[in-house]
Every structure is written in C-alpha cells, then in structure tokens.
Amino acid sequence: MTLLPLHAVAMVPVHVGDGSTWTPEAFRLRGTRLERFEPAVVAASLTAKDQVRFRQAVDNGELKQAQQLLHNVVGDRHVLDRIEVSPDSVREIGDAVANPLRAGRIHAFIRSGGRPFLPGSAVKGAIRTALLSARASSRLPALRQIAARADVRGGRWGRVSDQIQAELLGAGGRLETDADPFRFIRVADTLLPPEATRIEHVKNRRRDGRSNDMQMHFEALRAGTMFPLELRVDVDQAVRAARRDGHKAPGSPIAVNELLDAVDGFFRGRWAAEKQRFYARAPVRDLPSGRPSRYPILLRVGRFSHFESASIDGLRRGWSPQNRQDMDEGGTRAVVGSEHEPWGFGWLALFDGEDAARTFAAGLARAAAPAAGRRPGVSARTSRRATVDGEAVEVLDDKGSEVLVRWLDTRDTEWVSRHRLKVED
C-alpha cells in the first residue's frame, strides 16, 4: 500500500455542500461577520411578552418581525459560528435581511460535528474523472461508437456512462463494485482549519466578461487556505483479490504514477482551456509549475467546477436547458470578485512537502493583496499608504466614523474606527 500524505492549498474559493442552507431566522450580521444560532434555543430566551409576539408574527406570516425578535436577544452563549462575510455579500445579505420580499438564503459548506470538512468522496470523484479521461485518450474512436449508439439526448448519459467506465477500468464490460479498481483507492475526509471559510457573493460570468445579477451566496473555503489531504493507493491488495477470485477484482489495477499523472494532466488541461475561453483578458492566478518534480498536482473539486471538469475529454457532451440542445462547452462560469479580477471555483494545488505548500499559500496571499499597479499597502480610495495599528490595509468603504478595511496579509475585512486608520503621504 502507498500512503500519500499531501498538503492542499486552495488557489481560489471552494464550495462543497450537502444542500443545507441558512436563512435569517438562523443567523444575523454583526459588522462583516455572520453569527449563526439555533432559532428554537434563542426563542426560549424571549420574555413571555416577546414569545407571544413571536408566535403571532409567525402565525401571521410576518417573518421579518419574528426574525428581528430573535436577533435582538442573541447572546454569545447562543452563537454557534462566526463566519467572515465578503464586502459584496455584506451589502446584499444585509438588504435581504431587511426586505420581507427576499429570502436571504446562504448555501452552507458541508459540516461534521459542526465544523466544515472536505469529503474524501468529492476528491475521489474528481480523481476518477481524470483517470477515465487519461485511459480514454487512446481509445476514443471505439468509445465514440459506443456513445453514438446510445440515446443521450437531454444529458441522459447514465447507462452509456456505466458501459464506458467498465471498458476503461478493465472490468470485463461490467461495472460492479468488486471489479472497480477505485475500491482500492481511499481518500480520507479532512476537517478544515478554524475560520477557513467565508461567505461569498457568486456571480455568473459570460465569455464577454459581463456578469448577471444573481443573488447567490455560498460559504466557501478561502483562497490560500492550506490543509492536509491523505490519499491511499493499494495495488497489492487489488492483486491479492484477483488471485482469490478474478471475478471480484479489477482487471486493470491503478498504479500510483498512472493516477497522479492522469490527475495533473487532465486538470492542467482544463485550467488552460478555461483560462483561454473565459479569462483571456482578465488577470487570473498563476498556475504553479509541476516541473522538475511532479508536484504540485492540480485538482478541481466541489460545486461550480462545471461539467467540463467532470467529463471525459473527447467524449464530452452536456445539455443546455435554455437552448434545448447538446453542448461540449458551457457559456458561463461561476465567479467571485470583480469584473476585472474574477476568480473561479474549486482549484486546489497538491504538494508533497509542507514547506513548499506554505510558501505557495503565502505567495497567494501576497499576490492577492495589492491591486494591479499599486504598491502593497496603498489605499484603493486614497492612493496613499494606509495602516491600522501598524498593519497595511486597503480601504473598501467609508462611513465617516468607521471605515471598512481589508488586511493585506490575511485578506480579512473589518469595520474599524476612523481614529485607528493612519493614511501616510
């Protein structure tokens, strides 16, 4: 068995969810942080008079009034999480909380024991796609014939997908758990570091660089976050299983080198294609070199990876519900950030050494800090150097007595008193 204790760095925001959402009856905004609480527990803290008012508001459908009653009595003992919120999301969520016609829904990161984690299954699914694509590259004519004989209109690939996977994984034309070589590949679930997530306002960016005004807010892993990722590949166990019963073992086990080369090759190809198609005229994060060593390896996981990163090169066929026709490339990307500095979702760089991963993560933070053409520490509003308590910041908003600043070393945002802000000539 080969154990690969890797170190992952999020190059951009990453979201992996389980369908859970939060609405304002379960959170409130305090400055640039979202405080999450359990509504039933907070409701029990209401005075007898306010409990009557709360029930009446709920019965009458006056949800904003009911939410406000809860928000007024939330104390530190009630707060389950405090999560940083991006400036765009602060404004939009604040408006939604106050507007009875808006839901103010936030899509949560998947949790275990109340803490965000990256499921190993999400990583394993991405790895599987890359391996299938690599093995398919030399057999595309035959595989295209299989696909051509199937009715996949409307994106209904299920049956033909199983057949193609069975062909590529050496399962003798059958796709059964016992014969699937991926049962000998394991990826552990990974708890993410404390305060590793942030609420982001997600936009849909077209190829011309313009974005629509969808109100989508997702809790995402912060760019620059580093965390461990453990991968196990047990070729020996697959060989032993074949000796015991050839029908209950893969015909073509997956070796470590084949797997790593497939993953990096596939996702570097997807990175290059997506950059050319959607970000050719916009600055995007530099892709780290994988030479002379194999690392870092590029991987993409989670929501907003888009169907191109979850399908086989040369056999890709998606479905456009708007145009009601097949497509092999999408026309939009989900992004965060500005029109001139958009970031996509899901990209991870995997390192075999902790020091290299830390250096890369620190470089991401430094690269993201100053806007293009400005010195680090120069305020976006004043074009002069600004600090708070001696730390370099960028001023995002100004309300007179308070200013919203972004710390250039950590990229965190915070409202601070104006007297703490020092603007240098």
Q: Is there a single domain that holds both residue 190 and residue 271?
A: yes
Is residue 385 one of the residues assigned to a domain? yes
Where residue 341 falls among pLDDT bands split at 50, 70, 90? confident
Question: Could you tell me the CA-to-CA distances from 253 to 119, 124, 220, 249 in Å, in that order?
Answer: 24, 16, 35, 9
Listed residues 107, 130, 153: the one ending a domain: 107
Q: Inform me whether the pLDDT recorded for 239 exceeds 70.
A: yes
Choice between 126 and 312, residue whose per-residue pLDDT is larger: 126
Where residue 372 falls among pLDDT bands split at 50, 70, 90? very low
- The token pair at 258 is 């084949």
Where residue 173 falls among pLDDT bands split at 50, 70, 90? low
Q: Choose among 239, 230, 202, 181: nearest CA to 343.
A: 202
Choice between 214 and 60, residue whose per-residue pLDDT is larger: 60
| Res 384: pLDDT | 46
Is residue 206 one of the residues assigned to a domain? no
| Res 150: pLDDT | 66
Say how many C-beta atoms besides its own lie within 10 A of residue 227's C-beta. Answer: 20
Is residue 128 one of the residues assigned to a domain? yes
Mean pLDDT value across residues 271-291: 79
| Res 398: pLDDT | 65
Q: Is there a single domain that holds both residue 363 and residue 404?
A: no
Is residue 270 one of the residues assigned to a domain? yes
The string over 116-131, giving b where at least 16 C-beta atoms fall within 10 Å of a residue's C-beta and e elsewhere, is bbbbbebbeebbbbbb
Residue labelled with tokens 């730390």 = 391
Mean pLDDT value across residues 117-122: 97
Mean pLDDT rounded to a whole number for the chain: 84
Q: Is there a single domain that holds both residue 88 and residue 124?
A: no
Is residue 51 one of the residues assigned to a domain? yes
Q: Is there a single domain that holds both residue 260 and residue 326?
A: yes
The region of weakest confidence among 109-118, 176-185, 321-330, 346-355 is: 321-330
Q: Report the alpha-carbon angle 181-183-189, nearest 5.
A: 135
Q: Is there a single domain that holds both residue 358 and residue 387?
A: no
Listed residues 87, 107, 127: the one ending a domain: 107
Where residue 290 falls among pLDDT bands split at 50, 70, 90? confident
Where residue 191 falls among pLDDT bands split at 50, 70, 90? very high
Q: Is there a single domain that holds both residue 395 and residue 295?
A: no
Q: Is there a single domain that holds both residue 42 and residue 151?
A: no
| Res 370: pLDDT | 41
Is residue 207 one of the residues assigned to a domain? no
| Res 383: pLDDT | 36
| Res 299: pLDDT | 96
Q: Inform me whether the pLDDT recorded for 302 exceeds 90.
A: yes
Q: Is 89 exposed, middle or buried (0-12, 13-18, 19+ CB in 10 A)?
A: buried
Helix (H, G, I), strand (E, B) or coil at 129: helix
How many independent structural domains does the chain possess?
A: 3
Q: What is the pLDDT of residues 250-265, one digit of tens each?
A: 777 888 999 999 999 9
Percent pLDDT > 90 in the chain is 46
Choice between 171 and 289, residue whose per-residue pLDDT is larger: 289
Q: Inform me whether the pLDDT recorded for 100 exceeds 50.
A: yes
| Res 192: pLDDT | 96
Where residue 211 falls among pLDDT bands split at 50, 70, 90? confident
Q: Which of 263-277, 319-333, 365-379 has the highest mean pLDDT?
A: 263-277
User: Nearest 5°: phi and psi at 351?
Assistant: -115, 150
Q: Is there a single domain that holds both residue 360 and residue 257?
A: yes
Mean pLDDT value across residues 115-120: 97
Is residue 205 one of the residues assigned to a domain? no
Q: Is there a single domain that holds both residue 172 and residue 310?
A: yes
| Res 262: pLDDT | 96
The full DSSP string for 260-277 is HHHHHHHHHHHHHHHHHH
| Res 379: pLDDT | 38
Q: Which domain holds residue 100?
A: 21-107
Q: Inform me whether the pLDDT recorded for 154 exceeds 60.
A: no
Is residue 215 one of the residues assigned to a domain? no
Rounded Cα gap, residues 80 and 27, in angstroms: 10
Q: What is the pLDDT of residues 16-72, one digit of tens each?
A: 999 999 999 999 999 899 999 999 999 999 999 999 999 999 999 898 899 999 999
| Res 414: pLDDT | 75
Mean pLDDT value across residues 395-399: 69
Q: Report the alpha-carbon angle 181-185-190, nearest 5.
A: 150
| Res 199: pLDDT | 96
Mean pLDDT value across residues 230-246: 81
Rounded Cα gap, residues 71 and 42, in angstroms: 9
Q: Is there a single domain that holds both residue 98 and residue 234?
A: no
Q: Is there a single domain that holds both residue 294 and residue 359?
A: yes
Q: Is there a single domain that holds both residue 25 and residue 10?
A: no
The CATH number covering residue 413 comes to 2.30.30
